[in-house]
A = this chain, B = another copy of it.
Amino acid sequence: MKLSELLQEQELGDWRRTHYSKEILPTLDTKQITVMGWVSSTRSHGNIQFVVIRDRLGEIQVTAKRGECSDKVLDQLSHIKEHTSLAVKGKVRAQNRSPNGIEVIPTEVRIFSLAKQAAPFTIQAKRSTVGIDTRLDLRAIDLRRNFLRSTFGIRHTTLSSVRAFLDAKGFIEVNTPKMIATATEGGAALFPIFYYSKEAFLAQSPQLYKEQLTMAFENVYEIGPIFRAEPSRTKRHLSEATSIDVEQAFADYNDLMDLLEAMIKHIIDSINDKHRDDLESMHSTLPKIKTPFPKYRYDEIIDKLQAKGERIRWGDDINPQIMKGLSNEVFNGDTFYYIIDWPTAIKPFYVKPTSRSEKFCESFDLMYGSLEISSGSTRINRKESLLGNMKKQGLNTDMFDFHLRVFDYGVPPHAGFGVGLERLIMVLMNIENIRDATFYPRDIDRLTP
């Protein structure tokens, strides 16, 4: 038989998987089964060809030995490359020397799609040896790597545990428009769009919409994309990220800090519960959390920084580089903590000043080490205060008419926060570059794949 015939690609047809790799146990000895997946490794040993097939739950070894299977099947399995997509029908054999104590003796092979070249990276290594751009250019293949498969499985659990947590507390999931007429935060870092004949922008956050929605639903959350035209090239920024946005009526920032803390705890418990195998295979553990998360006032932090000789003044934002030193010495390494009561002037117009002083506002950042994970606050719920703050910040209040008008109809006191999902995943999985916490990252240099 010619090689081209042997390696003929075929249709799925009426073949269907009977078992996932993980379901093939020694108790199935002698059973006929059909496995499907892609070739994660292949090696020959004289008259024996070993082919490991990976599916979404794990791996199974196919052992083709001359005499035990047809010459055709042996030839087929001897010539396919890693990554080839295929199905194998065969018989299960309990085999102590094989991984998981079983192997499959193949009777028929159906090749769906041949791998035509070798990938520039191996799927086994935790940290890839090639640069991230090489991997991102072939992201779909890169995602077959063990570490990323685990990461995105854990990402899935993060999302489902957030939803379970918030649903149980009576929150409803909302989706707000991503094409908007007015910049929420003033105008920097916006992506402009052509909206029919009008100018519009991509939403940097669902802020004003989620606030409005507390009027009807009280407790709302949205998990969706946010867009920031960040010209910087850092390992912490994406142009398109996923935000977990939460907003609650009849609550203030202290309630929301409690909620966020409980949410983080629930996420970590859920991952520890469902991903023991992933964590073990990565030799990884999740951050330990100590509750309550410590709270440091902005003032305290500035004092500490100044005492360390950092050149920072009251009213400055606190950048991660400066925090890095501090978190190692003062916070004793990587832990979750809050920085609260920021200067009103450096927070957005919708953040409520404290009753103690207009200079400070009821705001918090959730930090992990030097990384900001979340930002939240009590919001202003009265039109005059909001108008006043907008003017102070030099915003064109006419542009916010669509928002201000709802304040004539009883806006409840409310507070909320947004969590950067990718930053949270970075922390949970100890990922160095935020690009590996998202499927297809977007940044100033990258628009494909």
Residue numbers of A with Cβ under 8 A of B are 9, 11-12, 16-17, 36-39, 55-57, 83-87, 112-117, 119, 137-141, 143-144, 148-149, 152-153, 156, 159-160, 163, 167, 170, 172-182, 191-196, 198, 200, 202, 209, 212-213, 215-219, 224-225, 227, 229, 231, 239-240, 242, 249-252, 355, 381-382, 402-403, 405-413, 438-440, 442, 444, 447-449
For A141, give the chain B residue with the smallest CB separation.
B409
Q: Which residues of B contact A85 (CB under 8 A)?
A: 215, 381, 410-413
Bound-complex Cα distance A176 to B141 (A): 15
Whether A447 contacts B180 in the complex (CB less than 8 A), given A17-B250, A36-B250, A409-B141, comes out as yes
Bound-complex Cα distance A83 to B444 (A): 46
Q: Which residues of B contact A216 (CB under 8 A)?
A: 140-141, 143-144, 148-149, 152
Bound-complex Cα distance A400 to B96 (A): 47
Contact status A440-B224, CB under 8 Å: no
With A152-B216, A406-B449 given, name 18 new contacts (CB 8 A). A38-B215, A83-B410, A85-B413, A86-B410, A112-B410, A112-B412, A119-B409, A140-B212, A140-B213, A141-B409, A149-B216, A163-B163, A177-B440, A192-B193, A196-B231, A202-B202, A209-B440, A402-B449
Whether A219 contacts B56 in the complex (CB less than 8 A), given A152-B172, A240-B177, comes out as yes
Q: Which residues of B contact A153 (CB under 8 A)?
A: 172
Contact status B140-A215, CB under 8 Å: yes
3 nearest CB pairs, A to B: A143-B216, A140-B212, A12-B413
Q: Which residues of B contact A38 (CB under 8 A)?
A: 215, 410, 412
Bound-complex Cα distance A24 to B412 (A): 21
Q: Which of B112, B180, B239, B407 contacts A113 (CB 8 A)?
A: B407
For A241, give the chain B residue with the smallest CB separation.
B175
Contact status B192-A409, CB under 8 Å: no
Contact status B218-A447, CB under 8 Å: no
Whether A224 contacts B224 in the complex (CB less than 8 A), given A403-B449, A406-B141, A410-B39, comes out as yes
